[in-house]
Amino acid sequence: MDLATINKDGYIFLKGRADDLINFDGIKFYPIEIENILFTYPAVREAAVFGWPHAQFGQISVAAVTTNAAVNRDGIKAFCASHLAPYKVPKIVMLLDEMPRTPTGKILKRRLKERLQRKIAENQARS
């Protein structure tokens, strides 16, 4: 289900989908807030943000990005930290060559989550 608000002038603003809502330690926010900041980062071409389970906080935000120039994860996190509340700053940044998409071009966040899960499993196997 899509979530939206209407302002006093009657304009409708899409907030995101109900199942995309991120709950960090009881504070709820939408990925679109973080994605909008990421889109202002000069090297970011595409961005998708989603919640990831966390033992202490319930969920943390994860950003998947494609870029048109060389960047590093810490630079993206620092940029977000200068524009967002600390709890919204992505704790994980995935740098990708391309986003997984549906035939109509929608980014598949489910596939991004699967990719992250595989990466975590690989890192645990190495430990």
Q: Which residue carries 């975590």 as its tokens?
A: 120
Amino acid residing at 2: D
Q: What integer best gives the mean pLDDT of the chain?
A: 90
How many Cβ atoms are within 10 Å of 70's Cβ, its own excluded? 8
Q: Indicate whether 29 pLDDT > 90.
A: yes
Closest CA to 61 of 107, 103, 29: 29
Q: Which domains are present in the chain?
A: 22-126 (3.30.300.30)
In this structure, what are the phi and psi dihedrals at residue 125, rounded to the nearest 5 degrees?
-65, -30
Containing 119, the helix (H) or strand (E) segment is helix 109-126
pTM: 0.84
Containing 45, the helix (H) or strand (E) segment is strand 44-54
Q: Indicate whether 36 pLDDT > 60.
A: yes
Q: Render pLDDT for 68-87 as a digit per residue (tens, 0 to 9).
A: 999 999 999 999 999 999 99
